[in-house]
């Protein structure tokens, strides 16, 4: 189940993917994705992702790792609020036990001491709230639903204490991954989403682990009824046959980004290897395999058994 750091969704030795990588290397080994540029493979993969994404998602920005994808999320969140004339709305709330990367800002989002110790992390403006770990709840008399309400109340208390006008976003994995493989208690995401909606706080669903079929739906957001503004993807996007990540952007956020570009010009963000042709070719073949092997249905049936 660990599958090489939760990566190899389609399994090892898939010739379809290795053939796609080789063919792309022969045809066009590299081209950049700056300022409106792209390749046939990157456009194809973007469309495939949006076709499979939760309702309301609109665009994809490619990177190479979950860490850099969450770095992109942070910048897009700040850019979004600056364009809307809310420069003070910059704080991002994560959860203890959550994992969102190991860079300076993404390591700050991560809620595990190992990734903070002796690194002078977490950095402002990152905050952490209660982990939805029902088994380790302090009050053993709480039902799952009561514990979910407790977590939502703690989140609301933090937003009010910091000031709703300063809190920009909340990030969470649908199921805690590195923090213990912990499914949320009953009604957790419903209650969390209600708090975020009340205070106009964006939701980032970190689907690096849960994306592409692991929960019996294409995305964990579908499984739990989450309505994200941004989705982080990596790992299962190529089944680790090549390094590739992405941020799926909702149409709501995209429209504001376009508004900002009209004022400020092109968004000053990107990597040399964003949407690398070989990596996105691997992604196309990988998603085709997931469909051909009906892996999403199989994951749902197997999960129901356990």
User: Which of 29-33, 53-57, 215-219, 262-266 is the least confident region?
Assistant: 262-266
> What confidence tens digit (pLDDT) does each residue in 53-103 have?
999 999 999 999 999 999 999 999 999 999 999 999 999 999 999 999 999
pTM surpassing 0.95?
yes
> What confidence tens digit (pLDDT) does each residue in 3-29 have?
678 999 999 999 999 999 999 999 999
pLDDT higher at 166 or 140: 166
* Cα–Cα distance for residue pair 7/165, rounded to 1 Å: 38
**Which pLDDT does position 1 carry in this prediction?**
53
274 pLDDT above the threshold of 70: yes
Average confidence (pLDDT) over 132-136: 95
Pick from 249, 200, 236, 246: nearest CA to 54:
249
By DSSP bridging, strand 230-233 and strand 245-250 are antiparallel
> What per-residue string of b and e applies to 197-230 under the rule 16 or more CB within 10 Å gives b?
eeeebbbbbbbbbbbbbbbbbbbbbbbbebebbb
Would you identify the CATH topology of the domain 3-301?
3.40.640
* Cα–Cα distance for residue pair 197/186, rounded to 1 Å: 19
* Cα–Cα distance for residue pair 251/193, rounded to 1 Å: 18
145 pLDDT above the threshold of 80: yes
CB 113 within 8 A of CB 165: no
By DSSP bridging, strand 245-250 and strand 57-63 are antiparallel
191 pLDDT above the threshold of 70: yes
* Cα–Cα distance for residue pair 283/118, rounded to 1 Å: 37
3-state secondary structure of 87: coil
Domain locations along the chain: 3-301
Mean pLDDT of the chain: 96
């Amino acid at each position: 189940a660990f599958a090489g750091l939760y990566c190899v969704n389609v399994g090892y030795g898939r010739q379809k993917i290795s053939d796609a990588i080789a063919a792309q290397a022969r045809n066009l080994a590299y081209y950049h994705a700056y300022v409106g540029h792209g390749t046939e493979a990157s456009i194809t993969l973007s469309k495939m992702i949006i076709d499979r994404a939760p309702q309301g998602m609109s665009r994809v920005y490619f990177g190479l790792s979950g860490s850099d994808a969450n770095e992109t999320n942070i910048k897009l969140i700040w850019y979004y609020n600056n364009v809307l004339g809310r420069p003070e709305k910059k704080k991002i709330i994560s959860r203890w036990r959550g994992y969102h990367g190991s860079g300076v800002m993404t390591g700050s989002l991560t809620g595990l001491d190992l990734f903070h110790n002796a690194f002078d992390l977490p950095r402002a403006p990152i905050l952490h709230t209660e982990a939805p770990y029902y088994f380790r709840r302090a009050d053993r008399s709480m039902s799952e639903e009561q514990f979910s309400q407790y977590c939502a109340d703690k989140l609301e208390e933090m937003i009010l204490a910091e000031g709703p006008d300063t809190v920009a976003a909340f990030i969470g994995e649908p199921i805690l991954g590195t923090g213990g493989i912990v499914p949320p208690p009953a009604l957790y995401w419903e209650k969390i989403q209600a708090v975020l909606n009340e205070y106009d706080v964006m939701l980032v669903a970190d689907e690096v682990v849960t994306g592409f079929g692991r929960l019996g739906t294409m995305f964990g957001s579908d499984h739990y009824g989450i309505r994200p503004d941004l989705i982080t993807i990596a790992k299962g996007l190529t089944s680790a046959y090549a390094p590739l990540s992405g941020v799926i952007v909702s149409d709501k956020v995209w429209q504001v980004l376009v508004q900002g570009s009209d004022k400020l010009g092109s968004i000053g963000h990107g990597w040399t290897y964003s949407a690398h042709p070989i990596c996105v070719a691997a992604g196309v073949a990988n998603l085709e395999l997931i469909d051909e092997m009906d892996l999403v249905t199989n994951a749902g049936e197997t999960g129901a058994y356990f």
